[in-house]
Amino acid sequence: MFGIMLVDDERHFIDELEDMIKGELPFTILGNCFNGVTALNAVRDLNPDVLITDVLMPGMSGLELARKIRNIKPDLPIILMSDNPSYAVNGYELGVSGFLLKPLAKDKVHETLNRLLCV
Amino acid sequence: MRVLIVEDELDTLSEIEDCLRCYDETIEIEPCSNPLHAIKIGQSRSFDVALLDIQMPEMTGLELAECLSVMSPEMDFIFITAFNNYATEAFDLNAVDYILKPIRQERFNKALAKVRKEIAEREKAFVNPSGDISIQAFGKMVVSSGDHILKWRRQKSAEIFAYLLHQQGVPVHKEKLCEMMWPEYDLPRALTYLQTIMYQLRKNTAEIGDNRITIEYADHCYRLHLTGVRYDVDLFLEALHQADQGSATSLDALIKAEQLYTGDYFEEEGWIWAMGRQQNLAQKYLKALESIIRQEMSGENKEDALYYIQKWVALDVYKNQDSYLSWVAEHIGADVAKKLESLFFEDD
């Protein structure tokens, strides 16, 4: 099993992701965070194999979170999610491993995570 | 590194070429201004990476990437475009990078460095595609290509691979596989796991290269297909078959079979479904060993048999060391029996 962390200020997106992942993909959900700052600390403590984060969040954005994570864990695969597709370009700038467009589609979530397992 | 560039505007095309040379002078470059022409080039030659514009008159760079990746699944893609609204599609196509125009050399270098890293990783995994690919099932399962040993991401991938191998090319229904591998899970959940594992497994076997180990899927069944792969169980059975022909070389064939048997069938993994064949093959091995011993003993140099007698005794099928020793003393000689006895004590 691989450890995964979910970050979103809107709880229902986290619940949705959990439902899509739990029992269907070989990932254990290590923890959920509702803002970037707690997520950054949790990455140090929980040492996940993958992190999925929303982009727009109050305080620290998902992009800033991704940038900061790069300094402490340069190889941690990060997946961005947003309802705004233009953030995908920022994803490439930050070297993230995937981009999920909201509303989330289960097959896309599975495809993106499955792809990570093989890299 | 071999690079294909597809860009309909000639100025930009030569600009990208300059950027590439600036990154690394030794890069092999194939510039192309027409995506349809690029498909033709892609059919006859392979590239490590394609740098693609997106908006082009004949077809989009995204469509082109799809065509090219069908032809060469290993090829990486980088999109170079003035528009930021295709990046989600680029992620869907698993593109390595997405560069916005105007191109900055520093940003461009970063993208190429990423490709170089991916190529290095692929090569690490894919050492010797034309080399000897072999599968070992005796003792412990090992799949290797040259010096590279395939590492299974998970125990289940190894077991599913082994099970398909065990079926000797007979297709296995996906639901049967699920029942075998995850008897405790309900079917939909097990099927999702299976799909994930198969995806990984295909990647795993692609690493080995050359499509010499492939997993086919048709009519809800999976089937393992081997081409020109050295498989120890097959070679063992072949050698035994050869020995059965009773020719002058039958002792050589038996000795070859004996050498191939490096342990029981999937001994270390201990998979329950393998037990039947494990016993069957162990029986064959025992018979071969006894036959070698008999033949060696009837030859000139009876001591040649000693090595095989040791192995035979180590199998411990007859449970009693004394009975082996008296058998050896009677059939070969008291001195050989003594030697054997001292070897036992050393082992203890």
- CB contact under 8 Å between B84 and A23, yes or no, is no
Contacts of B208 (CB under 8 A, 6+ apart): B126, B133, B143, B145, B148, B150
In this complex, the residue of B87, B154, B196 whose CB is nearest that of residue A89 is B87
Determine which of B56-65, B118-127, B219-228, B274-283 has the lowest per-residue pLDDT on average. B118-127
B303, part of any domain = no
B297, part of any domain = no
- Per-residue confidence at B19, pLDDT binned at 50, 70, 90? very high
Distance between CA atoms of residues B1 and B57, nearest Å: 28
- CB contact under 8 Å between A118 and B199, yes or no, is yes
Distance between CA atoms of residues B30 and A115, nearest Å: 29
| End position of a domain, from candidates B225, B241, B269 | B269
Mutation target among A52, A75, A92, A107 for the B interface, most CBs of B within 10 A? A92
In chain A, which residues have their Cβ closer than 8 Å to the Cβ of B90? Answer: 88, 92
Mutation target among A79, A89, A107, A111 for the B interface, most CBs of B within 10 A? A89
Over residues B51-62, the mean pLDDT reads 95
A-chain residue closest to B90, CA distance? A88
Task: Indicate whether B64 and B195 sit together in one domain.
Answer: no
| End position of a domain, from candidates B239, B269, B299 | B269
A-chain residue closest to B121, CA distance? A119
User: What pairing do the DSSP bridges indicate for beta strands B221-226 and B213-218?
Assistant: antiparallel
CB crowding A27-65: b at 16 or more within 10 Å, else e: beebbbbbbbeebbebbeeeebbbbbbbbebeebbbbbb
Q: What is the CATH number of the domain that holds B209?
A: 1.10.10.10
B241, part of any domain = yes
In chain B, which residues have their Cβ closer than 8 Å to the Cβ of A26? Answer: 154, 193, 196
- Which helix (DSSP H) or strand (DSSP E) does residue B222 occupy? strand B221-226
- CB contact under 8 Å between A117 and B90, yes or no, is no
Secondary structure class of B144 (helix, strand, coil): strand
pLDDT: which is higher, B329 or B64: B64
Tally the domains of chain B: 2
pLDDT digits (tens, 9 = 90+) for B127-153: 555 568 899 999 999 998 877 788 776
Task: Indicate whether B110 and B140 sit together in one domain.
Answer: no
Over residues B178-186, the mean pLDDT reads 88
pLDDT: which is higher, B161 or B303: B161
Q: Which domains does chain A have, with CATH numbers?
A: 2-118 (3.40.50.2300)
Residue B67: closest CA among B40, B45, B39 = B39
Q: Alpha helices, DSSP H only, in chain A? A: 11-21, 36-46, 62-72, 87-94, 106-118
Task: Indicate whether B65 and B50 sit together in one domain.
Answer: yes
| End position of a domain, from candidates B269, B300, B317 | B269
Task: Indicate whether B257 and B171 sit together in one domain.
Answer: yes
In chain B, which residues have their Cβ closer than 8 Å to the Cβ of A24? Answer: 189, 192
B93, part of any domain = yes
In chain B, which residues have their Cβ closer than 8 Å to the Cβ of A108? Answer: 92
pLDDT at residue number B348 = 46
Task: Indicate whether B121 and B152 sit together in one domain.
Answer: no
Contacts of B237 (CB under 8 A, 6+ apart): B284
B37, part of any domain = yes
Q: How many helices (H) and strands (E) does chain B have?
A: 14, 12
In this complex, the residue of B94, B189, B196 whose CB is nearest that of residue A117 is B196
Task: Indicate whether B17 and B112 sit together in one domain.
Answer: yes
Shortest distance, CA A10 to any CA of chain B (angstroms): 22
Instruction: List for chain B the helix, strand, coil content (%; round to 5).
Output: 55, 15, 30
Contacts of A39 (CB under 8 A, 6+ apart): A5, A7, A33, A51, A53, A60, A65
CB-defined contacts A:B, below 8 A: 51
B264, part of any domain = yes
In chain A, which residues have their Cβ closer than 8 Å to the Cβ of B119? Answer: none
pLDDT at residue number A119 = 43
pLDDT digits (tens, 9 = 90+) for A21-64: 987 787 889 999 999 999 999 999 999 999 999 999 999 999 99
Over residues B171-181, the mean pLDDT reads 93
In chain A, which residues have their Cβ closer than 8 Å to the Cβ of B153? Answer: 117-118
User: What pairing do the DSSP bridges indicate for beta strands B2-6 and B213-218?
Assistant: unpaired
Distance between CA atoms of residues B219 and B55, nearest Å: 40
Sheet holding A2-7, edge to edge: A27-33, A2-7, A50-54, A78-82, A98-101
Whether the per-residue pLDDT at B33 is higher than 80: the answer is yes
Task: Indicate whether B121 and B180 sit together in one domain.
Answer: no
Task: Indicate whether B103 and B30 sit together in one domain.
Answer: yes
B-chain residue closest to A86, CA distance? B85
Task: Indicate whether B56 and B119 sit together in one domain.
Answer: yes
Task: Indicate whether B110 and B151 sit together in one domain.
Answer: no
Over residues B107-124, the mean pLDDT reads 88
Check CB contact of A77 with chain B, cutoff 8 Å.
no
In chain B, which residues have their Cβ closer than 8 Å to the Cβ of A92? Answer: 87, 90, 97-99
Contacts of B142 (CB under 8 A, 6+ apart): B134, B135, B136, B149, B150
Whether the per-residue pLDDT at B347 is higher than 70: the answer is no
Shortest distance, CA A33 to any CA of chain B (angstroms): 24
Distance between CA atoms of residues A108 and A26, nearest Å: 16
Contacts of B91 (CB under 8 A, 6+ apart): A88, A91, A98, A99, A112
Angle, CA B268 vertex, CA B266 and CA B274 arms, to 5°: 30
CB crowding B164-186: b at 16 or more within 10 Å, else e: bbbbeeebbebeebbebbbeebe
The chain-wide mean pLDDT, for chain A, equals: 92
ipTM: 0.90
B169, part of any domain = yes
- CB contact under 8 Å between A91 and B91, yes or no, is yes
Q: How many helices (H) and strands (E) does chain A have?
A: 5, 5
Sheet holding B230-231, edge to edge: B148-149, B142-145, B133-136, B230-231
Share of chain B above pLDDT 90, in %: 51
Q: What is the CATH number of the domain that holds B7?
A: 3.40.50.2300
B191, part of any domain = yes
DSSP sequence for B170-189: --EEHHHHHHHH-TTS-HHH
The chain-wide mean pLDDT, for chain B, equals: 87
Q: Which of residues 31-60 of A touch B (CB under 8 A)?
A: none
Task: Kindly list the distances between the CA atom of residue B230 and the CA atoms of A10, B164, B252, B258, in Å, as whole numbers in the listed order.
Answer: 55, 16, 19, 16
- CB contact under 8 Å between A86 and B84, yes or no, is yes
Over residues A98-109, the mean pLDDT reads 94
Task: Indicate whether B132 and B238 sit together in one domain.
Answer: yes
Distance of CA A81 to the CA centre of its chain: 7
- CB contact under 8 Å between B189 and A118, yes or no, is no
Task: Indicate whether B120 and B231 sit together in one domain.
Answer: no
- CB contact under 8 Å between A92 and B200, yes or no, is no
Q: Is the dihedral of CA B30, B31, B35, B36 positive or negative?
A: negative
Over residues A95-113, the mean pLDDT reads 93
Q: Is the peptide bond before A74 cis (omega within 30 degrees of 0)?
A: no
Distance between CA atoms of residues B102 and B16, nearest Å: 11
Shortest distance, CA A115 to any CA of chain B (angstroms): 9
Whether the per-residue pLDDT at B323 is higher than 80: the answer is no
- B197 lies in which domain range? 128-269
User: What pairing do the DSSP bridges indicate for beta strands B28-32 and B2-6?
Assistant: parallel
Question: Please, are residues B13 and B7 in contact by the beta-carbon 8 Å criterion?
Answer: yes
Whether the per-residue pLDDT at B325 is higher than 60: the answer is yes
Instruction: List for chain A the helix, strand, coil content (%; round to 5).
Output: 45, 25, 30
Shortest distance, CA B166 to any CA of chain A (angstroms): 25
